[in-house]
A and B are shown apart, each in its own frame.
Chain A
């Protein structure tokens, strides 16, 4: 499994996350909107998965293994996550 939920409720993305993971990730996030997502073991993720993270404004924990995700996608998610924090704070 590439999308799993750990004992403390953290949603973990690991290995190569295919397009199908998008649906699974969306379900998890809908059922636990405040859940933490950890992608430090993620080696690649399909655009669909990234799209879910963006819409959910999730700033995943850790740095993914893929340089592309780490250098180019992560800053965008951090920004989206921060703007969601701003919204909830307001």
Chain B
């Protein structure tokens, strides 16, 4: 994708968000002139951006909305909820276009008809006098739209014709190729007045325009539209061969460049000739030459891709259906970084260089003075070591701060979805967002979209009552879903609150019993709060009927899994008849994890401090056996105790000491004790996910390297205690 388009997408998203915010306010007070101005300005700027990237469909759609708003500003018409909805529709469409562009890097296909629909919608009441003429055809890549292969008759020169002069006047001429009818004769055998030229010319004009140019010479030329008929004639086999050439080009390395490009070009051209795509084959030959000349496979690759393009377009609905997550991922792959943060990195780099030089001096001193006492060298090293320590700490913080994003990046997509969902369910609802400038690590923000969407869907689907019941309960007709986010130390709290009917505890309990989520005894012993948390249990879904939205087997347990994967927690609180709150407590950053080291079975492990409640030492005899398990009584509660080494290595361990050291940890709301040999230090580590052979190792969350070079395995307590 060009940087230009990237920038356009980035800026447009911000403007859409801005306009959406103003429209939400207008929805409540349509007469707020300031909001009308705000919306108008944002839409106007968006439109300007669209014009710059030649996205005429978007420009037209926004122009219609802008006209309508302009009429409101000048008092010619009044602001209505209908117009707000029309503007929302325009912005939603723009968002979808931006999503498509972010994925493909190209202007979205079919945008013109979508724009027409929007314009018709807005124009139902708006002013439509100066909409741009339909320039949809100009949305196509203007470069190389038509190719003509012109074989001049051999007696052309005798007849006083100049074939090249005809080509020189071809509309939209981009490039050409001259070849002999069969092969060039030797110079001494050449009849200078016999025309042997075959001209292949590529034009940016349409096939019709090119055809008009060759009027009366139809028998001498073959005209093809490069864009639309190329792939339709290609057989599946041919297409595969062409795709294989692209793959070949992609893996081409310097040493094999010439051979591979020439070969890929030859094969592609032959495939096309075989499919009677002579003109396209000529294009490939031309681009192969160019690739070889420019020493880059790009030209040939683009040409083959372009020939395959119509197929890609046909497949577009499939790509458009790619999950929103992947769209989101590509959307937030671009980071807008505060220039100050970059300056900070530059400064740190400079300081690190200074330390590096200082170390160089010490090294030289040690080399030059064979008898220099170790003590002196060590002393000389102390200062740079201290500086290094300090600087690396700063560097770590600076790098982390670059990865920080406001939650707005995910929250801004929700209003549109809430509108769609509430319309589908016929439950009028508004979404209020507070604290969307709360920041968190990019990885956290990225993972948040799907869980949030699921929670919001769940709220609308199951939490919010149908309008009839709401009116019976004297609740406002329009339900409210509120998302609040705030920073709490090293955590970010995101709350999703609805004003629905709350959780039906009895029903949850009943379903849990039916689906054997927990044993009847456990269920009976559980408090209402604990029962409510069962909605997060695997395989739980309270949907009485499976709606198209939630209750499709992916229950709230998906939310819990996603949140716990990044070290977060999720709880649900409910007040019957008043509403439900789902609270997500997420770490600010997934990169730094606070761990405590413990030793068990002669090996050192890390335990995430988040899970640790306390470390206690109890006399050996206080550990009572209950069946095969062991437990202690702690603050009047029975606490199960497991031997860490036993859990990990699967064998019993003999403890020689009188005192047992137990780490009390909480896992999924349950307390448990882990018996260890020794408790070590606490530290902040960068947790590396397992890779290679270790990927599927159970019970291990990740690894980190200790100061002495040893690898510390950090435990995933939820898995260990399962």
Contacts and interface: CB of A to CB of B under 8 A. Distances in A.
Interface of A: 19, 22-23, 25-26, 29-30, 33, 44, 46-48, 50-52, 54-56, 66, 68, 72-73, 76, 79
Interface of B: 152, 156-157, 160, 162-165, 168, 173, 175-178, 184-185, 187-188, 190, 192-193, 195-197, 289, 293
B193 A47 contact: no
Contacts of A33: 187
A29 to B, nearest CB: 6
Of the listed residues B165, B190, B192, B197, the one surrounded by the most CB atoms of chain A closer than 10 A to its CB is B192
Which are the 5 A-B pairs with shortest beta-carbon distances? A22-B192, A68-B168, A47-B164, A23-B192, A26-B192
A80 B2 CA distance: 34
Contacts of B192: 22-23, 25-26, 48, 51-52
B193 A23 contact: yes
A84 to B, nearest CB: 11
B193 A73 contact: no
Contacts of A22: 157, 192-193
- Decide if the interface of chain A is mainly helix, strand, loop or mixed: helix
A73 B190 contact: no
A56 B195 CA distance: 15
B195 A26 contact: no
B177 A47 contact: no
Contacts, number: 67
Contacts of B197: 47, 51
A22 B196 CA distance: 13
Contacts of A73: 164, 176, 178
A72 B173 contact: yes
A43 B165 CA distance: 12
B162 A46 contact: yes
A19 to B, nearest CB: 6
Given A51-B195, A51-B196, A26 B187 contact: yes
Nearest to A78: B293
A50 B164 contact: yes
12 contacts: A23-B192, A25-B192, A26-B192, A44-B165, A47-B152, A47-B157, A47-B197, A51-B192, A72-B175, A73-B176, A73-B178, A79-B293
A55 B178 CA distance: 11
Nearest to B199: A47
Given A55-B185, A55-B187, A48 B178 contact: no
A30 B188 contact: yes
A54 B178 contact: yes
B196 A47 contact: no
B184 A79 contact: no
A35 B192 CA distance: 18
Nearest to A48: B157
A72 B202 CA distance: 11
B184 A54 contact: yes
Nearest to B156: A47
A39 to B, nearest CB: 14
B187 A56 contact: yes
A19 B156 CA distance: 11
Given A47-B156, A54-B184, A73-B164, 16 more contacts: A19-B160, A19-B162, A22-B192, A25-B192, A26-B190, A30-B187, A46-B164, A46-B165, A47-B195, A48-B157, A50-B164, A51-B190, A51-B197, A55-B187, A73-B178, A79-B289
B178 to A, nearest CB: 5
Nearest to A21: B192
Contacts of A79: 289, 293
